[in-house]
Structure 1
């Protein structure tokens, strides 16, 4: 299965996405070649009649019209072939980019974290763009490299045996020599792609950490590193250009040598009277065209190398495993959709995949966790950093698959439920704000929500006051990543966005981290109110939130070591 998936994301597998367009490009190109050969044969016939047979010019008008018609037909068919090839390249590039987005969403945030963000961005932009020239140019030209030389060889074989022998011997030398060069060129292309990925990742990291770089006075050092990486990419690109120049030089050498041999031999035979002008003229017209598809193929050969390197990176992204199912989906559920009264974890274990020098290993993140989360109850997860609090939230949300055990949603009678999609809400430690207005950010949760719903969600999250105080209210721009808002405002706006979906299960990761005392207190009070009529689970180190908890789960070394019910103890 894994081998099959790997094959599907190689260039040969991708070609199946636009088979009809590629076949159309090859057929149209082949028909254009046939008309082109007929055009040259008709032209040679007309020139021979005018020059050596003494026919008047008027008698050759039909032949010249036929030459023009064949020329126009050949050009039209070649244009249609180029359009079909371009359409195939665009369709394949767009479909791969679309499938890559779907796959990344299915892999989830934990799966996407397995690859650098810069590599993902570069592959989705430069990598998919590199596929287009391969299918638009390389494959049709590779087909033409067989069709047109084959037609010309057949024509030359009928006209002159010596010329056929020369062309048949020198023609195959070019693809063989190009293949030998191609092996080393592919290594250079892979090196160039690696340099591009490193440069893209470093540039993205520099932009994200610009404030830190300025704080430590490393801005100039970062610029110097970027300049060095750009120089390394430039050198790798020039290495590719050197190989392309060498390939073109070898092609031109063999082509010129072959045409010269044909011309010299025919010239000598014409002087001796052992060859007729029409055959000699037609062969000399066909000989340069015999190598023309090879020239075009050589010009697009770098597209194959670039696409092969890009396809390898695309396969790496699709190798990231997808989540098999939502972890909240119960096993053997026979019930229908309904209100969730409780979530029950039964001997749940989970692990993160870690890459080693020889294989992919797993690091245990949760080990035999047994617990229960109830409606109308605020559950707080406590423990040291790295103990497994965030991991448990990710497992509940379905971001990380369960290795063993199961998570079951129960109704008021204790029966398992079949959960609808979107029944859980998630507030991460660093909520993402898109570049847009306050309303735009809220509409991410529910694009069809009206203003009344937006205001109700904002009021529930204690965000309506500061939103209405903004210059344009809900139409105020928040800036890139919410830079125009404070940390507390971002947290409350993100909470309002989650509540807009009215989730039955609400998971929050360090909702009061990095906030001032007043903002943290307001967020804590809001979370306490959100526990009414839903399941709320919070991972935190904040004592204020811990004091408001109905249930405290202390996690240590990936296990739930202690469960406390503070309010029951106080009673």
Structure 2
């Protein structure tokens, strides 16, 4: 089944829906397993015939060579078919998990950071990692074995019915008892698995929070307390996991008890009848060979039953992620050939909760060659306005129009935005590697050009290895101003027509602030630049100031003078 077909059938985000998406692979696995089951019955029949011939019909080993060849053929073919069945199920499961991970990531991109704000990062990471991986055994092991639990036992029952009615009656009565008791034990196991999954989510979230806040914890003298708390959670998770193992052992004990009891009853009944001369050895021997195989699929199903419980628990976290509403606008990731000259907000309104608007009927224009400043008190709606421009939040009413010099509006203009947050993300790597995150194929000449535009070339060249210098995660080896200029150079490498910056000069020393502000002003001469700021040197370079107050936007020359 192709990826395209699997993606088209992605509407039902449940275990049943996921099972239908790989029905071809599961069906092929069950078919191969069914043929292997037929060969198993034939293999045991030939083996019983060989033993009976050698023991009671005075056949020599040479007389049984044809039967031995058939026995080897059935044995090898069955092993190959069973291996193929397992491989087909594994292949279908791996393809499904891969597609689910892609779909979930795409959905989270559509949800955007605004929609993800109320969802714990640790829970998201756990669902994407352990959650999706927990579904694989369900499709690889549980589903094929659940099907074989029906196919092989019925095939063996049909064979035993042909050989002996009493043995058929014993197997038919004891076999259904095993799923019944497994279900009774399974109810308790599911509750434990749910608790285990919840503890795993809490453990992942707490561990991530402890890592992210390690600096604050050390400064407050609470690092040991945080480590102890995570250790306690890990110990609780270990105890719950052991409880799951106890239930698994109990399930196996129930299965083995009834299986052994059934086989013993068959052996006793056949033994008595053999002594009385009312049964032949070949039939009795074949039934005794088939009786353990009758319970083998049940054993395999029992061994993989925890996979279903784990998948059910994992689906709770995965379903929550799929249920998050898409809040980010979707657009094609392609650069426009035409030059944009303005971005207009027309009667724009936005809200995070129904009937609680954050912005109402906003009308403003951001022009090319103009550095526009957005200011206002905290909570007034500045961030919401920027989120609308970035496409991270869809407007309730109104629209945002980007036009070129001919007055033509373009749809996919948001893919031409460059965004520099207040705390830019730098990865552990070289300066060049961090810059090339925006354009992996960029050559050194392009890197030097954008670094010069962002006033970052001089400090980069002063580093020990220049562009090949390791700067550490989050730019720990650089100053705040250097980080901001490096982030500006990186975003310029994408050649954006619109540049949006959030407090680019906050927490900088006066000299760094001046250099960053000058670099941004230089970029604004050939770009639409929008900056969120409250104070500092960047204000002196602004040609337009928009003040956001109580969900409204005000502009005018008096605001420019007031900001300055």
Identify the TM-score tier after normalising by the shorter chain: over 0.9
- Aligned residue among 464, 476, 482 for 2:469: 476
Shift of 1:548: 2.4
Pairing 1:57–2:61 present: yes
For the residue of structure 2 that corresponds to 1:512, the secondary structure is coil
- 2:222 aligned residue: 218
1:509 aligns with 2:502: yes
User: Cα RMSD over matched residues?
Assistant: 2.3
The answer to whether 1:554 aligns with 2:547 is yes
Find out whether 1:340 has 2:340 as its counterpart.
yes
What is the rounded CA distance, in whole Å, between the counterparts of 1:496 and 1:535 in structure 2? 16
The one of 233, 248, 254 aligned to 2:252: 248
Aligned residues between the structures: 554
Contact 1:550 1:565 (C-alpha < 8 Å) held by counterparts: no
Alignment partners' CA distance in 1, 2:97 and 2:487:
35
| 8 Å Cα contact 1:213-1:219 kept in structure 2 | yes
518-527 vs 406-415, greater mean Cα deviation? 406-415
Aligned to 1:300: 304
Mapping 1:61-460, distance limit 5 Å: 61-323=65-327, 325-326=329-330, 338-352=338-352, 363-420=356-413, 422-460=415-453
> Cα 1:6–1:188, aligned 2, differ >3 Å: closer, same or farther?
farther
Q: Distance in 2 between matches of 1:349 and 1:498?
A: 28
Does the Cα contact within 8 Å between 1:381 and 1:552 map onto a contact in 2? yes
TM-score, normalised with respect to structure 2 = 0.93
Distance in 1 (alpha carbons) for counterparts of 2:370 and 2:476: 34
How many angstroms apart in 2 are the aligned matches of 1:567 and 1:257? 90
- Compared CA separation, residues 367 and 289, structure 1 to 2 (3 A): same
Per-residue CA distance 1:337-386 (angstroms, 9 max, x = gap): 63222111112111225xxxxxxx67533222221111111111111122
Q: CA deviation at 1:310?
A: 1.5
Unmatched segments (≥5 aa) in structure 2: 1-7
| Deviation at residue 465 of structure 1 after TM alignment | 0.8
1:126-147: per-residue Cα shift (whole Å, max 9, x none)? 1121121111111111111111
Show CA shifts across 1:108-161 (max 9, x none): 222333321111111111112112111111111111111111110000000111
Tell me the SS of whatever aligns to 2:377.
coil
1:275 Cα deviation from its structure 2 partner: 1.4
The alpha carbon displacement at 1:283 in A equals 0.7
* Contact 1:346-1:406 within 8 A present in 2 as well: yes
The reply to whether residue 47 of structure 1 matches residue 40 of structure 2 is no
SS at match of 1:47: helix
| Structure 1 pair 92–61 and aligned structure 2 pair: CA distance change class (3 A) | same
Could you say what secondary structure the match of 2:372 adopts?
A: strand
How far apart, in 2, do the equivalents of 1:126 and 1:215 lie?
Answer: 33
CA displacement 1:159-198 (0-9 Å, x = unmatched)? 1111111111111111122223223322221211111111
2:419 aligns to what SS in structure 1? strand
Q: Pick one of 514, 517, 522 that aligns with 1:529.
A: 522
Contact 1:369–1:559, Cα closer than 8 Å, also in 2: yes
Instruction: State the 1:206 CA deviation.
Output: 0.8
What is the CA distance between 1:30 and its match in structure 2?
1.0
SS in 1 for 2:525: coil
Could you tell me whether the CA contact under 8 Å between 2:329 and 2:392 is conserved in 1? Answer: no
Q: Does the 8 A contact of 2:348 with 2:399 survive in 1? A: yes
> Is the 1:552–1:565 Cα contact (8 Å) retained in structure 2?
no
Structure 1 gaps of 5+ residues are: 330-335, 354-360
Name the SS of the counterpart of 1:541 in structure 2. coil
Matches of 1:75 and 1:393 in 2, distance apart?
Answer: 62
Q: Return the offset for 1:567.
A: 6.5
Q: Give the C-alpha shift of residue 566 in structure 1.
A: 5.9
Please give the secondary structure, in 1, of the residue aligned with 2:526.
coil
CA distance 1:255–1:327, change in 2 (3 Å):
closer
Which stretch shows the higher mean deviation, 83-92 or 119-128?
A: 83-92
Once residues 227 and 560 of structure 2 are traced to their aligned partners in structure 1, the CA distance between those partners, rounded to angstroms, is 56
Partner SS, residue 8 of structure 1: coil
* Matches of 2:405 and 2:273, distance apart in 1: 102
1:287-333 residue CA offsets vs partner (Å, 9 max, x unmatched): 1110011001000010111112222212222222335635999xxxx
Query: For the residues of structure 1 that align with 2:83 and 2:404, how far apart are their CA atoms?
Result: 65
* Alpha-carbon distance between aligned partners in 2 of 1:328 and 1:150, rounded to the nearest angstrom: 55
Match of 2:42 among 38, 41, 49: 38
Distance 1:129 1:146 in 2: 27
| Gap change, CA 1:94 and 1:419, over 3 Å in 2 | closer
Distance 1:477 1:106 in 2: 33
Q: Per-residue displacement from partner, 1:422-457 (whole Å, max 9, x unpaired)?
A: 211111111111222111111111222221111111
Q: Quote how far apart the aligned CAs of 1:32 are.
A: 1.0
